[in-house]
A and B are shown apart, each in its own frame.
Chain A
């Protein structure tokens, strides 16, 4: 696609049942009632000049360029704020309007720099365009009057600059921050001619203000007052490619705007149905890692992990790898081999890795990082509803009256969806937050939770049961829904269970530490406040009862009838871009694509016929089981695509021991990650910018990933997997991921109607897409549950075995922060480190004082598993007795501390509860120092012969 700005209709689209017909400049136009005259004109191709209007923001009416004349109305009226009326007659071009517009432009330009040719917005500037449109030829005021020129730009943000002298005070940035992002960091300071856009308080610059660098203001700016520094550096883009972000599970679509092979900027795509034209600091700006100096683009091998790496050709690397795999297989059997698929890679790549393991290696030892995040979601929602996925699309939140956020921190981890949620909350929806920490949503500008239940970490099931107790015993359940849609006998068993007095909020208060009255009020609100939607995250799943909590949530939704329409549902917020897709693609050891058990002969036969091999009918090993088996010696070779299990998985020492015990560890990644310290083969990977394929986001939306630039290493990731398969003699011959997608569709009933061509045409599809749902399913379980009757599962609260005691009196829980992503492999290699240069430990003032810790002090964080050191931040966001940190930085290695405890059903690690002690420290722990040494040794790359 050639570069051209995205179409802008001036004011937001209006949906209405009634259509209105009017005449604009002699043309008859029919639009929905409530549409602005400006939008009506734009839709019929007669755009009216304007500067303060853009269709992502409510009409504002400040620039006064869009004036029109309307028959029967006195004077002139702003077309952006004037709604259409039946038979209205509008004139947008008259001599008087021409004169007025030119007069307004003349005022603007009397206070604006004149050196457009050297401006970074040259030829991509609405002010410049409008001056041209109105035919401004002379600024009769001259340039000697009062002006705002010569002011210093604010360069504090690493990605964009603010040049106040180019600002026309249209407030688009302020309104974008308010309406689109919902942070309200920007305001207009002073008034009249002195009006000035200001971030935060007067003393602030953009970086020190509340600005979250989402980029909405930059996108909204009609001039170059707010401009990406990359555009200043590289110039105006000359082509644009629509693709899907590779960060979190929201799945924002972007226009990658390019000059040749140079990515100039990523701009959220307005037609993207997941993000609706919005973005966050990661997707919008943090793509510099693609060209970071740490990027490895040449394959490397080594005999053993104490040797330096040796750079080799693809052929040599693949031959070496195939040899090792074959040797292990010959000596230890197929079940000694396995692979890990990546939630960051495409569906097609993931599908190929599990195919390689099942059809090539001959085992079912394939797992994916969803093991350590949302595997309980898969188990819990499949058990209760029949589908391992969230029930809604993101748009659904705009119909919710009550929003429940459990164990999720959307403003940090799913920021673009959080902005939608906040928009709905500002419209009046009520919010319930169930989280040990006072996350930002609990209290932020124009958002305040009706109830925050700061539960003791590890007591989710008890809280859910107590809520169910209130709903059932107070007669708030929707029994008509339950009778019609669920198994009534199972419901009664469940209702009896939750009604027992030992499940009352009062009784459980001792365990949950949630005040009974507050919990009761929250339960009542959920059951009676209208459409109620639950959004949850890893604070639900990463527990020893993660699966139970997911089922308990599903029970609540079914019991209150909050399933099967817009505005309700059970919605897991997926952590990584393609974690939904990786699960869909058969990445779990017991399942083939579409969540069909490997023991099902008919399904297996389908794959066997297509692939021409026999499949092992038994489930394979999960990641923690692989590591256990490696230490035992029965598991010896592992192909890891795009994951860093050493940093991301719990009990780092145990992971290290397991990896060290293997004969062949193949790391396929962009960087020499922590896991690569234990690898024998390093296969360079490609970024999402360098390949074609699809991602599936948290709302089951399949979206194309398009190749924006050439690969740095010569091969897209699916090609690497294919080359490895072929080195093993499998004879694959895919020439484009579209063919892999066809294979997926052929073998997976829920994907039957999906194809690359269709995605090219329709931009996205929400599975299931098949004969029953030819256009996909934004909302699931509308007329009935996928499994038939909704299944109530009695979930009994079991305290975790990880207990606090005198030696480890505090509970550690972990999470993420906005600017960093997961293990930080990408974001740490961008300027996002400006916001979060290191992991810090949040500790309550009381606990800090007891330990003599002050803000910024080094502390030793120790558990029964291990210890690390990091700096503390003293804050009452966490309750006394609870500490919190992030796991973005390998220097901290928070997972040295986490334990082997895991979800009973899926082995999803219990990241969210670790008993710890915190003591003052004077620097890194022994482990950290040893590990730093190991890393330095392990990352050595041998000099090329002859150098």
Chain B
């Protein structure tokens, strides 16, 4: 699973990087929203279940936010 996890981390960081220009708060929200809207649940579950190591601050913030909304829901 590690190869896939690395790839998911790469994808999350790439999304975060492209939203970064909006400022951290907005970028975290946008990244979380994007992953929520476009990722298959097993990918979301995998990144939420995995280590945050390697995630950028924005990506980590977005994953943290997803953990809050998706797990509670």
Do any beta carbons of A and B sit within 8 angstroms of each other in the complex?
yes
Chain A residues close to B by CB (< 8 Å): 335, 364-365, 497, 544-545, 548, 589-590, 597, 599, 618-622, 625, 628-629, 631-632, 634, 794-796, 798, 900, 904-907
- B21 contacts A590, C-beta separation under 8 Å: no
How far in angstroms is the closest Cβ of chain A from B23?
Answer: 10
A545-B18, A904-B14 in contact; A634/B42 too (CB < 8 A)?
yes
Query: How many inter-chain contacts with C-beta < 8 Å in the A-B complex?
Result: 60
- B40 contacts A904, C-beta separation under 8 Å: no
Tally of chain B residues near chain A (CB < 8 A): 20
A631-B4, A632-B4 in contact; A796/B34 too (CB < 8 A)?
no
B44 and chain A: residue at smallest CB distance: A618
- A619 contacts B38, C-beta separation under 8 Å: yes
A907 and chain B: residue at smallest CB distance: B11
The SS class assigned to the B binding surface is: helix
- B18 contacts A904, C-beta separation under 8 Å: yes
The answer to whether the Cβ of B49 comes within 8 Å of any Cβ in the partner chain is: no
11 sample A-B contacts, Cβ–Cβ < 8 Å, listed by A number: A365-B40, A548-B18, A590-B38, A599-B37, A618-B40, A632-B1, A794-B22, A795-B21, A798-B17, A904-B15, A905-B15
**Contact residues of B between 1 and 55, Cβ < 8 Å to A:** 1, 3-4, 7, 11, 14-15, 17-18, 20-22, 34, 37-43
How far in angstroms is the closest Cβ of chain B from A661?
Answer: 12
In angstroms, Cα B21 to Cα A906, docked, is: 19
Chain A residues contacting B1 (CB-CB under 8 Å) are: 632
- A619 contacts B40, C-beta separation under 8 Å: yes
- A620 contacts B7, C-beta separation under 8 Å: no
In angstroms, Cα B18 to Cα A597, docked, is: 22
How far in angstroms is the closest Cβ of chain A from B43?
Answer: 6
How far in angstroms is the closest Cβ of chain A from B10?
Answer: 8
- A905 contacts B40, C-beta separation under 8 Å: no
Chain B residues contacting A599 (CB-CB under 8 Å) are: 37
- B40 contacts A628, C-beta separation under 8 Å: no
- A590 contacts B4, C-beta separation under 8 Å: no
In angstroms, Cα B62 to Cα A263, docked, is: 58
A634 and chain B: residue at smallest CB distance: B42
How far in angstroms is the closest Cβ of chain A from B49?
Answer: 13
The 7 tightest CB contacts between A and B, nearest first, are A796-B21, A904-B14, A621-B40, A618-B41, A904-B18, A794-B21, A632-B4
In angstroms, Cα B17 to Cα A544, docked, is: 11
In angstroms, Cα B21 to Cα A794, docked, is: 7
In angstroms, Cα B1 to Cα A906, docked, is: 22
In angstroms, Cα B1 to Cα A625, docked, is: 13
In angstroms, Cα B14 to Cα A905, docked, is: 9
- A619 contacts B42, C-beta separation under 8 Å: no
- A589 contacts B40, C-beta separation under 8 Å: yes
In angstroms, Cα B42 to Cα A544, docked, is: 23
In angstroms, Cα B44 to Cα A629, docked, is: 13
Chain B residues close to A by CB (< 8 Å): 1, 3-4, 7, 11, 14-15, 17-18, 20-22, 34, 37-43
Chain A residues contacting B38 (CB-CB under 8 Å) are: 590, 619, 622, 905-906
Contact of B18 among A620, A622, A796 (CB under 8 A): A796
Chain A residues contacting B15 (CB-CB under 8 Å) are: 904-905
In angstroms, Cα B48 to Cα A385, docked, is: 33
B7 and chain A: residue at smallest CB distance: A628
In angstroms, Cα B26 to Cα A243, docked, is: 50
- A625 contacts B21, C-beta separation under 8 Å: no
- B21 contacts A597, C-beta separation under 8 Å: no
- B39 contacts A619, C-beta separation under 8 Å: yes
Chain B residues contacting A629 (CB-CB under 8 Å) are: 4, 40, 42
How far in angstroms is the closest Cβ of chain B from A542?
Answer: 15
In angstroms, Cα B41 to Cα A365, docked, is: 11
How far in angstroms is the closest Cβ of chain A from B59?
Answer: 11
Most chain-A CB neighbours within 10 Å: which of B4, B22, B37, B42? Answer: B42
In angstroms, Cα B17 to Cα A621, docked, is: 22
- B42 contacts A904, C-beta separation under 8 Å: no
- B37 contacts A796, C-beta separation under 8 Å: no
In angstroms, Cα B39 to Cα A306, docked, is: 34
- A625 contacts B43, C-beta separation under 8 Å: yes
B12 and chain A: residue at smallest CB distance: A904
Chain A residues contacting B20 (CB-CB under 8 Å) are: 796
- A544 contacts B37, C-beta separation under 8 Å: no
Chain A residues contacting B3 (CB-CB under 8 Å) are: 631
A335-B42, A625-B43, A634-B42 in contact; A619/B18 too (CB < 8 A)?
no
Known: A794-B21, A904-B15, A905-B15. 18 other contacts (CB 8 A): A335-B40, A497-B21, A545-B18, A590-B37, A597-B37, A599-B37, A619-B37, A619-B41, A622-B38, A625-B39, A631-B3, A796-B18, A798-B17, A900-B7, A904-B17, A905-B18, A905-B34, A905-B38
In angstroms, Cα B34 to Cα A906, docked, is: 10
In angstroms, Cα B16 to Cα A798, docked, is: 12
In angstroms, Cα B18 to Cα A621, docked, is: 22
Chain A residues contacting B22 (CB-CB under 8 Å) are: 794
In angstroms, Cα B42 to Cα A336, docked, is: 11
Chain A residues contacting B18 (CB-CB under 8 Å) are: 545, 548, 796, 798, 904-905
B5 and chain A: residue at smallest CB distance: A632
Chain B residues contacting A796 (CB-CB under 8 Å) are: 18, 20-21
In angstroms, Cα B22 to Cα A621, docked, is: 28
B20 and chain A: residue at smallest CB distance: A796
- B14 contacts A544, C-beta separation under 8 Å: yes
In angstroms, Cα B43 to Cα A553, docked, is: 31
How far in angstroms is the closest Cβ of chain A from B31?
Answer: 10
In angstroms, Cα B37 to Cα A625, docked, is: 15
Chain B residues contacting A628 (CB-CB under 8 Å) are: 4, 7
In angstroms, Cα B3 to Cα A751, docked, is: 42
In angstroms, Cα B40 to Cα A548, docked, is: 22
In angstroms, Cα B37 to Cα A855, docked, is: 49
How far in angstroms is the closest Cβ of chain B from A761?
Answer: 40
In angstroms, Cα B41 to Cα A472, docked, is: 42
Chain B residues contacting A798 (CB-CB under 8 Å) are: 17-18
Chain B residues contacting A590 (CB-CB under 8 Å) are: 37-38
In angstroms, Cα B21 to Cα A544, docked, is: 16
B18 and chain A: residue at smallest CB distance: A904
- A620 contacts B40, C-beta separation under 8 Å: yes
In angstroms, Cα B22 to Cα A634, docked, is: 35
Chain A residues contacting B14 (CB-CB under 8 Å) are: 544, 904
How far in angstroms is the closest Cβ of chain A from B9?
Answer: 13
Chain B residues contacting A620 (CB-CB under 8 Å) are: 40
In angstroms, Cα B17 to Cα A831, docked, is: 48
How far in angstroms is the closest Cβ of chain B from A120?
Answer: 56
How far in angstroms is the closest Cβ of chain A from B11?
Answer: 8
Chain B residues contacting A365 (CB-CB under 8 Å) are: 40
Chain A residues contacting B43 (CB-CB under 8 Å) are: 621, 625
Chain B residues contacting A544 (CB-CB under 8 Å) are: 14
In angstroms, Cα B3 to Cα A906, docked, is: 20
In angstroms, Cα B40 to Cα A590, docked, is: 9
In angstroms, Cα B40 to Cα A622, docked, is: 8
In angstroms, Cα B39 to Cα A589, docked, is: 9
Chain B residues contacting A794 (CB-CB under 8 Å) are: 21-22
In angstroms, Cα B43 to Cα A660, docked, is: 21
Chain A residues contacting B37 (CB-CB under 8 Å) are: 590, 597, 599, 619
In angstroms, Cα B48 to Cα A705, docked, is: 47
In angstroms, Cα B3 to Cα A900, docked, is: 13
In angstroms, Cα B55 to Cα A474, docked, is: 40
A588 and chain B: residue at smallest CB distance: B38
Chain B residues contacting A335 (CB-CB under 8 Å) are: 40-42
In angstroms, Cα B32 to Cα A343, docked, is: 31
Chain A residues contacting B17 (CB-CB under 8 Å) are: 798, 904
How far in angstroms is the closest Cβ of chain A from B5?
Answer: 10
How far in angstroms is the closest Cβ of chain B from A388?
Answer: 14
In angstroms, Cα B38 to Cα A545, docked, is: 17
B34 and chain A: residue at smallest CB distance: A905
Most chain-B CB neighbours within 10 Å: which of A335, A497, A590, A619? Answer: A619
Chain A residues contacting B11 (CB-CB under 8 Å) are: 904, 907
How far in angstroms is the closest Cβ of chain B from A905?
Answer: 7
How far in angstroms is the closest Cβ of chain B from A606?
Answer: 20
How far in angstroms is the closest Cβ of chain A from B30?
Answer: 10
